[in-house]
Amino acid sequence: MSTDHPDRDVNAEDQPITEISKADEPETVQQKDAKPEVAESEGGDPSESSAAKPRKLTTLIAIASVILLSDILTKVWAVAAVKPGQPIEIIGDVVTFTMVRNPGAAFSMATSMTWILTLVAIGVVIGVIKIGRTLRSPWWALGLGLVLGGALGNLVDRFFRSPGIMRGHVVDFVSVGWWPVFNIADSAIVCGAILLVVLTLFGFEPNGERLRDHKTDDKKLTDSKAAAEGETK
């Protein structure tokens, strides 16, 4: 007499355990594969982040290009039009165009450190470009663009003007009152540096976020956790 139960599923009992477990495996794999997609959607649209990054880098490069071109053209004009020792008066003696060959830094500082200043300028250019690759803040793009354009403008003089490569004297020609003679590149560097300091002091980061916002979010999260624990108790 057969002992098989009439409701027994013969195929299910004879089927190996490994094969039964495999029936559920595709669903598990699909769930695992779906996790990255959920993370991307929760973190925001990846296409928007990738699109925002080059826009800010393009802004930085555009600003730097304008400063560099303006600096080169005005220096070419100054060399041709302003004679040494013969300043051109713009507003009496207060604002003049005065030709000065500067071996030092901005505003004629560190005149005996031409080589070091050239290396520092090269380091600044590399640093700005490195930061610009992840830049998302328009204000940081403006500040870094000013610094980059000014640094490149003076580097052109360091490399291509006398007395030689990396020792060239920078052309300064704008004189305002008691202020040391300067050029467009010097002005851009100073304005850009001031803007970057202000952004840093107020907590604005190159990626477009703000430190104060992070602190506010952390405080809200802590308060919500404390409230939840209080309700549980």
Specify the DSSP element, H or E, that contains 51: helix 46-81
DSSP per-residue codes, 130-183: HHHTT---HHHHHHHHHHHHHHHHHHHHHHHSTT-TTTPPEEEEEEETTEEEE-
Tell me the two tokens of residue 192: 């850009």
What are the structure tokens assigned to 187, written together?
Answer: 């002005």
Using DSSP's 3-state secondary structure scheme, residue 102 falls into strand
**With b meaning 16 or more CB within 10 Å and e meaning fewer, what string describes 82-97?**
beeeebeeeeeeeebb
Q: Report, as residue numbers or ranges, the catalytic residues.
A: 172, 186
Minimal CA–CA distance to 204: which of 135, 133, 123, 126?
135
CB 159 within 8 A of CB 151: no
